[in-house]
Chain A
Amino acid sequence: MGVVPLITRPLWVTLKYLVRGLRRRPATVLYPFEKVRLPCQWRGLHRLDDEKCTGCGSCSRACPNMCIDMVQLAPKKKRPSIDIGRCLFCGYCVDACPFDALEMTGNYELAVFSREELIMSPEALTKVQDVREGTVDEELWKRVYGDEPVPDYPPLPPKPQKGKKDAAKKEEPPRKDGTEKPPECGFTGADKAVPGEVAK
């Protein structure tokens, strides 16, 4: 190729972005100040629902890395404690729980100061708040999807209820600790994909 196209094409395409950058925000999201909202089925930190959990231990058997230990809180009461230092966040324990007691929130900022704090005791697991702050990245949304950014991902059809209680459940009672449950994103067929231990 000759001299002129030597550098005109790359310079031309970078200039286009300079000009676009003047009227619309460039692609960067300044993480600590602007956060991007994660979809509802994001596999972040676990949260334990104390009433639903019966301490059956199927989550600790399903865990590939043996991170979940059943802790004896009271003579008849066992609850799982999760060592998130070794946890793969693979979601097996949530799939394996027959009573839907474990669920995964959207928290992904899990840094702690010491290795011991990584082992989340059952009480800590119940007090986990689903911190889903931040807004959808409007700029990226407008560029790629064109239409108005949807504030949150629309909930999926509710997950089929399993476990001992009958399927036709009434409106779920509001949670005692007042945290509002994130929009429900149930999966069709996810439970049958329960890996769990060999069909014991």
Chain B
Amino acid sequence: MTQMWINMGPQHPSTHGLWDLLVRVDGETIMEAQTKIGYLHRGVEKIAENRTIEKFLPLNDRLCYVANSSWTTLFTMAVEDLLEVTPPERAQYIRVVVLELQRIASHLVWLGAYGADMGLLTMILWGWRDREIILDLFSLLTGARIMHNFPRVGGVRNDLPPTFKDRALKAMDYMDQRIPEYEDLCGRSELFAMRTRGIGVLPLEKAISLGCTGPMLRASGLEQDVRKEEPYLVYDRLDFNVPTGQNGDGWDRYTVRLEEIRQSASLVRQALNNMPEGDVMAPGFKMPKVLPAKTIYRRAEDPRGEGAIYLVGDGKTNRPYRLKIRSPTYVHLLAIPFYIKGARMSDVPVIMGGADPCMAEVDR
């Protein structure tokens, strides 16, 4: 067949979100690919230069519509580094609980969409059904299901409602019962293995030189997790292990993320069980009139990889002088053309889904 360029996106059922992978196809095999993004670009970094820190906080939830609080927490940690404020112990434990619940919810969305790319419609429904429970926990804790606007500079907005702790512990036990079911439906199914083993293989040194991080890098075999490399909040007091894969194909990305759901569930339990008493905001902290003239680079482990914020204060106003948001998926999506050559037309959605695209954080 003559070679032709096919658009996998932006209006395409297999792309989660608005982005376009142009694919040059010879028959069924892919010869070359190009990524086209920018459909959801809102200029968040320019807006940030015109708003005070607190007024920019709610926008952080919109940075990634599936893992909202992870970006808000990252931003508040960056500002706290800039202002040299440390939130009280209890607030840090609450932040860890919120981050890990957010990771489970984000991985469930990914698992559902990954199944849908292979025609496994049951997987979406189970993924979304179990995510509902976590969204209910969030709506009890923060007042909103998705746009929580919960972390504040110097702490968190409010303390845990009294019923939250045992409901969250029961929800985590419920989650542990659900994971074997996901494995039955995907892990132990031959069809799933046929569609994911050896698909979109990303060797380790290519992953490092491309700048892939998080589950993509761990699937290629390097045990690297910002929570272990550069422990923030109270992660160094909680014990969890970092799952890795062997040869960086679709199968390893699935096993790595599924294992991460288990680890996050146990992390939530640990954080809830040994959470100290105390107030949730740094006592007597007031936002200063002027941000100190410093630059901060704060990294955190976003469900998709290494999210980071480069914040520059200019010592004159209380607005950030420059805010650079390092998005892990931005690198993963632009890196796809480097390892998609030779794949088949049906593998393209699996490879695109493997990168777990969340377009809001890619286009900023």
Contacts and interface: CB of A to CB of B under 8 A. Distances in A.
A–B contact (CB under 8 angstroms):
yes
Interface of A: 1, 5-7, 9-10, 12-14, 27, 38-39, 41-43, 64, 88-92, 95, 104, 140, 143-146, 150, 153-154, 156, 185, 187-190, 192-193, 195-199
A47 to B, nearest CB: 15
Contacts, number: 126
A6 B190 contact: yes
Contact of B143 (A42, A150, A193): A42
Contact of A42 (B133, B139, B158, B289): B139
Interface residues of B, number: 50
Given A9-B189, A188-B280, A193-B155, 15 more contacts: A1-B190, A9-B188, A38-B139, A42-B139, A42-B143, A89-B144, A90-B57, A92-B54, A92-B58, A140-B133, A154-B163, A189-B158, A193-B152, A193-B158, A196-B54
B52 interface: yes
7 contacts: A39-B161, A42-B144, A89-B147, A144-B133, A145-B170, A185-B161, A193-B157
Interface in B163-190: 163, 167, 170-171, 174, 181, 184-186, 188-190
B287 A198 contact: yes
B58 A12 contact: no
B279 A143 contact: no
Contacts of B188: 1, 5, 9-10
B52 A90 contact: no
B286 interface: yes
- The residue among B143, B162, B174, B289 with the most chain A CB atoms within 10 A of its own CB is B143
Contacts of B52: 197-198
Nearest to A94: B143
Contact of B189 (A7, A27, A140): A7
A39 B160 CA distance: 13
Given A10-B185, A10-B189, A193-B281, A187 B140 contact: no
Contact of A9 (B122, B136, B184, B289): B184
Nearest to B282: A192
B143 A39 contact: yes
A116 to B, nearest CB: 25
B230 interface: no
B51 interface: yes
B175 to A, nearest CB: 9
Interface in B91-137: 122, 125, 129, 132-133, 136
Interface in B312-356: 318
Contacts of B223: none
Contacts of A10: 184-186, 188-189, 191
Contacts of B170: 144-146
Contacts of B279: 188-189
Given A41-B143, A42-B139, A189-B279, A156 B185 contact: no
B193 interface: yes
A153 B58 CA distance: 26
Given A88-B147, A195-B55, A198-B52, A14 B185 contact: yes
A198 B65 CA distance: 29
The 8 lowest CB-CB distance pairs between A and B, nearest first, are A195-B54, A187-B158, A6-B190, A13-B184, A64-B55, A9-B188, A90-B58, A43-B143
B44 interface: no
